[in-house]
Amino acid sequence: TLAGNQTRSFLAVPLIVQCAVTGLLAVSRAGDEPWQPDDEAVLSALADQSAAPIEIARLSEEVEHARLLADNQRLSSDLNLRVAELEGLLRVIPIGIAIADNPDCEVIRVNPALSRMLRMDAAEGTSYSAHDAWRRAIRVNRDGREISVREGVVQTAARTGRGGRSGRLIRT
């Protein structure tokens, strides 16, 4: 047969496992010299010896893939359950809690207790660093002076990796 710009001679035999063709073993060589019956017999013997191990390896990969999918589904379910439990606690705990979704504190989610304290809708989310409306509505004072966004406790903790103390939130 012709492959590319060179004539090549191909020989292929099936890989058979339990009377079913599971693949193909093929060889090629340059030139157009025909394969001999002994060549086909040797390749068939190699295919017979290789078919089961190749199929076992393929099935093992499928089993491993299925196991990983099942593990991912289980972990996802466990995570969703834990998130639901945490959200339930955040809804009923009587202290205000804020959670920043990223280190830049562009979105800060608050629980109902903090939402009530700030007199803001918890569903809107809050972020002193990202939302002008929130920044206009709330001032943060520490030691009697208004502090900058960068000095906010959430922003400082996100920036430094350490906790800190806040000032006093004042609704304007």
- For the ranges 41-45, 96-100, 125-129, 164-168, the lowest mean pLDDT is seen at 125-129
Q: What is the C-alpha to C-alpha distance for residues 55 and 57, in angstroms, rounded to an integer? A: 5
Q: Which helix (H) or strand (E) holds 139?
A: strand 138-142
Q: What is the predicted pLDDT for the residue at 69?
A: 97
Q: What is the predicted pLDDT for the residue at 27?
A: 92
Both tokens of 41, joined, read 């017999």
Residues 134, 120: contact at Cβ < 8 Å? yes
Task: Provide the pLDDT confidence category of residue 33 given band limits of 50, 70 and 90.
Answer: confident
Whole-prediction pTM value? 0.49
Condensed to tens digits (0 to 9), the pLDDT of residues 128-159 reads 555 555 555 666 677 777 777 667 776 777 77
